[in-house]
Structure 1
Amino acid sequence: MKVVVIGGTGLIGSKLVGKLEEQGHEAVAAAPNTGVNTLTGEGLADVLKGAAVVVDVSNSPSWEDEAVMTFFRTSTTNLLGAEAEAGVTHHVALSVVGTDRLQESGYFRAKQAQEELIKASGMPYSIVHATQFFEFIKGIADISTDGNTVRLPAAKFQPMYSDDVAAAVGRTAVGTPVNGIVEIAGPDVFQLDELIRQTLADANDPRTVVTDPHAPYSGAELQETTLLPGPDAQLAQTKLSDWLALQK
């Protein structure tokens, strides 16, 4: 089966291409640095020839509200149109658990717009909602820092390993379209402020984590369960402690 991975040279995309190839599929990494640009349409028709499945794990280069909305609207519209012409039979997109609950955020409004375009396209589809990745935990601290203080709410948080994300997206891609959302998450639930506090302490980072219920997360205020998946989520096996051990 030919599977085209849009964003196929990034963190998730490169892992996904490798996993699909291991299973005997023809996986093609498509990105601007491989001559495929979903914003302009460059290279789309050629790369989609003979493809059965397209997996979109691309991301906007800018998180500024207008830019990210333009990226996801334009990219998704161009991609779905090219897929229809090429006879693609399954569109898979990677999105985020809680997207519909984070609409104060310009980024998540753009992700919601992407999902609505997919649902309205008539293309058989599967949208994978993943929780945040272990690899982004430090980044959450960084974007929440003011001076030497990190302000975060005490919301629940269920992160997962990027390898497990790629594996779940791969299973979805070669399966039957669900025409709905598949949720995936890590095996353990943490409290966001406590997790970042412990992570910084373990790294001998001098920043202080202050618990603030109104501190924004990507521009949105969190309720306790905003970032948690529903009861039917597929839970990954890799624990945060396992991943941390791999980093040493």
Structure 2
Amino acid sequence: MRIVVVGGTGQTGRLLVEALREDGHEVVPASPSTGIDAFTGMGLKEALTGADVVFDVTNPPAREEAAEFFRVSSENLTAAGREAGVRHLVTLSIIGLERASDLAYYRAKLAQEAAVRAGGLPFTIVRAAQFFEFLDVLMRANTDGDEIRLAPVRVQPIALSDLVARLAGLAGATPSNGTVEMAGPEVFALDEIGRLLAAPGQRVTSDGRPFFGADIPVDALVAGPSADLAPTTLADWRAAAGE
């Protein structure tokens, strides 16, 4: 099977390319660095020619550009995919977009999803929980000196390796033409995770604004009852990371 991974040189994309190749697929990693740019359309038609499945795991070069980036890239992908006869577009998204729409990035992802739904290609939108690998970024973004300010908003983080394995498994699946959720096996409050991961001398306090200055409901980022739950726990992930 010929598969194109848009965003195939990024953190998630590299792992997905490896997993798909291990499964015996012919995989094309697509990114500006490989001469394929979904946003500008550069090389896109050629890359999708003969492709059976396309995975979109892209991120914008800057968060403030997310709205236009996601919308335009998805419109270009679906148009080129229709012309090429692509059978399945799998788009990576985020759990809780509507409930956390105070975040501009989440509104941009909602626009991306809308473009995919309207694009005329068979699709599956995968809404994933925050990665364990993202937690350190979140903590740094909310650190002031020795204080980490995190509210007790609940999350259900997933190991990136678990998510990639599940994404790779969709290569041979029937498009759902809808949304599926993928999350980890445990639910934590962010301030609880912060206390587990904080360095010696750091203290975690709560100011109710955990996600880059945005107020969101306490359960906005928790998966629904039908979510596909991965096996790796936070303790397992920390042990594997040598923490």
The alignment's TM-score, normalised by the length of structure 1, stands at 0.94
How far the C-alpha of 1:219 sits from its partner, in A, is 4.2
Where do 1:1-248 residues align within 5 Å?
1-64=1-64, 67-200=65-198, 203-204=199-200, 206-212=201-207, 214-248=208-242
Provide the secondary structure at the position in 2 that maps to 1:9: coil
State the 1:216 CA deviation: 4.1
Alpha-carbon offset, residue 10 of structure 1: 1.3
**How far off its partner does 1:208 sit?**
2.2
CA root-mean-square deviation: 1.3
- Secondary structure class of the residue paired with 1:228: coil
1:218, distance to aligned residue in structure 2 (A)? 3.5
- The structural deviation recorded for 1:172 is 2.0
Q: How many residues align?
A: 242
Q: Which amino acid aligns with 1:14?
A: R
Mark the runs of 5 or more structure 1 residues left unpaired by the alignment.
Answer: none
Confirm or deny: 8 A CA contact 2:153 2:210 kept in the other structure: no
Partner SS for 2:192? helix
| Structure 1 position 145, deviation (Å) | 2.1
Identity of aligned residues (%): 46
Q: CA deviation at 1:148?
A: 3.2
2:98 is paired with a residue of what secondary structure?
Answer: helix
Q: Is the 8 A contact 2:102 2:216 kept in 1?
A: no
On the 8 A contact 1:159/1:186 being kept in 2, the answer is: yes
Contact 2:100 2:217 in 1 (8 A): no
Query: Partners of 1:219 and 1:51 in 2: how far apart?
Result: 41
Once the two structures are TM-superposed, the CA of residue 27 in structure 1 deviates from its matched residue by 1.5
Amino acid at match of 1:138: D
Code of the aligned partner of 1:211: S
Q: Secondary structure at the match of 2:80?
A: helix
**Counterpart secondary structure, 2:205:** strand
